[in-house]
Amino acid sequence: MPMTIDAAVADVRETFPQPRYLHGDRERAWRTIADRVARYVKPGGSVLDFGSGPCDAASVVALMGYEVHAGDDLMDTWHLLPGMREKIAAFAARHGVKFELLESTGPLPWGEQRFDMVMLHHVLEHIPESPKDLMTAIVSCAKDEGYVFVTVPSAVNIRKRLDVLRGRTNYPPYDQFYWYPPPWRGHRREYCRDDLVRLCRNLGLRQVELTTYHAMLLRIPPAARPLYKAATAVVPGWRDSWLLIAQRPRGWKRPTEPPAGSKVMASLHMTGELN
């Protein structure tokens, strides 16, 4: 029997194998994801969660009655604790999520035009190179008129703007970067609104929704939260994260190069990247 969002969130919270991973911001993210899935995909539809991590959000969606597939390399430090991968796989299976452990190279294990929605939540900021090949492969997994659902942290949220004005970094804390055991798994490139508009355009998708939301509200000191929420209500672009919903048009084909005559095209010709 499909669950409500509240019931699904409660179930995942109570059964998750690593309680220290959970906090209020995680549950807020689950609710945001679940709300958008329910808004755009009919009950019982098929959903792919790429870069799913421990399948927490995927499990919420599965409990709501969707057919959910998920994939991740599970290479974060805590994923590699003894027995943790097995616990994550069992947790996913318990909630009906069909999980695939992904390799860093090789084709995706899902067929083309398979899903009503494909999702990448806080994944793109971790990719060290262009997301072009990954995103075209992911979009290929969506059905014609299916949806692509992307969330990313904002490169220009109000906290980062203020930090830069004070001479601080808008990158992850330097000590975290310095002491992190290789390879670095943190953020490589964060996104702003224009980046997501261009991502959508470059992929040949139809933009349906592009908005900001609160994904890291609890990082704001409690005393400052009312002011922060009031300020970001007036200027939504100051919120910490972006949410993009795009639709794959009927007859979509993989874009292979920038538009003819564009500055990017001219630059690639000059550097020999295109003949």
- How many domains does the chain divide into? 1
pTM: 0.91
Sheet (strand 46-50) strand order:
98-101, 67-72, 46-50, 115-121, 142-153, 241-247, 206-213
Distance between CA atoms of residues 84 and 261, nearest Å: 51
Residue with more model confidence, 175 or 267: 175
Both tokens assigned to 226: 């009312």
- Rounded to the nearest 10 degrees, the angle between the axes of helix 193-203 and helix 132-141 is 60
**Does 19 score more than 90 pLDDT?**
no
Range of the domain at 34: 5-271
Specify the pLDDT at position 15.
Answer: 95
Q: List the Cα angle 138/57/236 in 5-degree steps.
A: 85
Distance between CA atoms of residues 149 and 58, nearest Å: 13
Q: Hey, which bits of 122-268 come out as E strands?
A: 142-153, 206-213, 241-247
pLDDT in tens, 214-237: 998 888 899 999 999 999 999 999
What CATH number should be reported for the domain holding residue 187?
A: 3.40.50.150
